[in-house]
Amino acid sequence: MLNRKGPLLSRREALLAAASGLATAAQAETTNMELIGQPCLARNMHTGCLVQDKGRDYFVLTNTNEITNAELIFIDIEAGTGEVYRAPTGAGAWALQKLPSNQLGVGTYYNGMFLIFDIPSRKWVKTIKFPGEDYLWSFAIGSDDRLYTGTYPGAKLGALDVKTGEVEVLGAPGKPNLYLRNVSTLPDGRIYCYFGTEKPISFVFDPKTKQFSPTPEALHTVTTGVAWNGYFVSGQKAYRMPDLAEVSPLPFPTPTGTAVWQVLPLLSDARNLVVHQGSSVYRFRTGDSTLTRIAAVPTTGISMFAVNEAGNVFGTRGQDYFIAQEDPKKLRLEAVPGPASPREVFFLTTDDQNRLWGGPPFGQTLFYKDLATGQVTNTRGVSNRGGEVYDVEVVDGVAYGVSYVGGEIIRYDPSQPWNHIGGVNPRVIGKAGPEFIRPAAGITRGGDGKLYSGWWAKYGTYGGAVAVTDPQSGATELIVNPLGVQAIQGLAVVGNQVMIGTTLAGNGLPSQPNASAKFGIYDLAERKAVFTHEIPGASSVSRVIYDTQTNRTACIVQRTRSSLWIFDNTLGQFRKPTGVVEKLQPGYLTNAGPGRVAFSEDKTLRLLNLATGAVTTVGDAPEKIHCIAFAPDGCLYVACGAAVYRTAPLPRPRRSPLA
């Protein structure tokens, strides 16, 4: 593979750096960069609801945009048109709540804000910070009429008085968990709180006493539910008030047959219980004797958000929205209307057909740009799971992507007809999940023709794996914890050996204490690590790039500051530093042709000669660089937010004697 992107967490941090084995001065030859567009036009809808305004019905969705802020998309159900309202702040929103004041409560992530949107005036009227928190996950209205939410990373419960704008932080009894992701209203107005993911547990908060109380142990893994007809209902169970003891038999009828069914809390309310089984959606109203089938829905890749009085079910599938009725032939599956704003570019790579590939953070989509014609294609969804594609390797024109959160290896042939619903193109050919879910080390092709990808373990678990996938059969082998119980953050394949960098991070977990990240070499023939080097004080070793000309490997080591390290594969050791570039901030690293790598230093793009350690400056971008790709045309392509820039072709590298 020509290029591999870095993890989202790394490029969101403020990086300091020192270079190991590099020259002490950088040549200041600056080359202008050409803007070639904002190619990523993808949506990522987290949640939705139905509202009425001026006699019309609207399906409202929250949409992610890291560049222009989160959006509310109002879809006129009858006309099929869309209105887009950009939020004053926040990248996206998982939390959405209809308020009695004919307003919408919106909770953002990355900056942890309560936003209030007035429906009649179509205006954002309040912006209120939750102190010290980055994510607001979900909403519930308590008996005191306040808007309750849970947070990350503090796993705190808080309440907003919508009228006054006052926020009260109520505590975090679920420590050491980092997440209070789900809050639900109980029939008596108390708040059910589910904490995860290190040690899942639940508590109930009483707005009257402002005290938390424990729940029965059986509820410690119940994430969310709905207050229906005096019961708290979740999954396939119902719990009575006030002690939350399980009720048997159930106070409602259940679907027939052996297929799994479950209650849908987001679509249910105090009077209506909505149940999903296979492709069927049922509704049971208080006073009814039987379930009523109200809709037939797609069976894969869907999110259901609302149901109206007529029984129509509203939801999304990738970039599309749907309206489902009882008759499956009347299903409306259409592109979400309204203008799409450019999204941040999460990764970049190129192929041998003169195309530039990438994708957004959040939203299972890809884009590719024909560098000769300038034509850009944005795909619909490529996965039925939430999350995003982390990286792509293109082989003979076919793209192989690795995706969080399902741990999927996905095959997409842009020359063939699109048939994702049928599972034909794109399609999942292999999986590292459910045990390994975040492909932070990306994907690359080995000399044996197989695909190699590096993964973090699932939420609540430390460790990682290298996945080896046959692109023809999809057969995937997992090499679990090749350097010990640490997640995989970087990898490169050389013959029968895989060079690996690890991280102390974990999904939903704090960094591993009293440990250091490692660089190592795993031998595929011997099925064991033949070299392991623990780097004292390092939290991660990422962006592992091997160069055949020099037989050296570059990587980024994160300690108190980030450093470029060079491993000499001939000697089997890291080069001792010969100098330091004092202000180096390498947030991204990629190969740039034989004998050299390119890296970013804030807005500046530089080249490192792996033989001599000399650093030269390529040019400066208008904003901070967070992705780099090297193309066969000899140009470097960099992403700054939503914008992609191209350098002039780099001079051909000269062979230099090894220093």
Cα→Cα distances 374→306, 336, 635, 640, 643, Å: 40, 25, 15, 19, 14
Mean pLDDT, range 177-195, rounded to an integer:
97
pLDDT for 560 equals 83
Which residues does 433 contact at the CB level (< 8 Å), separation at least 6? 405, 406, 407, 408, 458
Question: What is the 3 state secondary structure string of 8-52?
Answer: HHHHHCCCCECCCCCCCCEECCCCCCEEEECCCCCCCEEEEEEEE
What is the rounded average pLDDT of the residues 130-155?
98
User: What type of residue is 297?
Assistant: V
Q: Is the pLDDT of residue 580 over 60?
A: no
Q: What is the mean pLDDT of residues 479-493?
A: 98
The reported pLDDT for the residue numbered 583 is 45
What's the maximum distance between 2 C-alpha atoms anywhere in the chain?
85
Residue 234 has pLDDT above 50, yes or no: yes
Please say whether the beta carbons of 514 and 447 come within 8 A: no
Confidence of residue 4 (pLDDT cuts 50, 70, 90): very low
- Given pLDDT bands bounded at 50, 70 and 90, which one contains residue 7? very low
Given a cut of 80, whether residue 251 has pLDDT beyond it is yes
The answer, yes or no, to whether residue 541 has pLDDT greater than 70, is yes
Q: Over the stretch 424-466, which tens digit does the pLDDT of each residue have?
A: 999 999 999 999 999 999 999 999 999 999 999 999 999 999 9
Instruction: Supply the mean pLDDT for the chain.
Output: 91
In this structure, the strands spanning 135-141 and 123-129 are unpaired
User: Per-residue confidence at 306, pLDDT binned at 50, 70, 90?
Assistant: very high
CB atoms within 10 A of CB 256: 9
Residue predicted with more confidence, 12 or 554: 554
Concatenated DSSP letters of 599-647: EEETTEEEEEETTT--EEEEEE-SS---EEEE-TTS-EEEEETTEEEEP
Query: Confidence class of residue 587 from pLDDT cuts 50, 70 and 90?
Result: low
pLDDT surpasses 60 at 6: no
Q: What is the CA radius of gyration of the chain?
A: 26
Span 521-529, mean pLDDT?
A: 97
**Residue 110 pLDDT > 90:** yes
Segment 345-404, tens digit of pLDDT: 999 999 999 999 999 999 999 999 999 999 999 999 999 999 999 999 999 999 999 999
d(CA 380, CA 384): 11
Q: Can you give the length of the chain in residues?
A: 659
Question: Does residue 14 register a pLDDT over 50?
Answer: no
Q: How many CB atoms lie within 10 A of CB 362?
A: 26
Residue 568, pLDDT above cutoff 90: yes
What percentage of the chain reaches a pLDDT higher than 90? 85
Cis peptide before 653 (omega within 30 of 0): no
What pLDDT score was predicted for residue 76? 97
Predicted confidence band at 602 (pLDDT cuts at 50, 70, 90)? confident
- Contact between residue 33 and residue 628 where contact means Cβ atoms under 8 Å apart: no
- How far, in Å, are 173, 199, 387, 495 from residue 194 at the CA level? 11, 11, 21, 47
Confidence of residue 561 (pLDDT cuts 50, 70, 90): confident
pLDDT exceeding 70 applies to what percent of the chain? 92
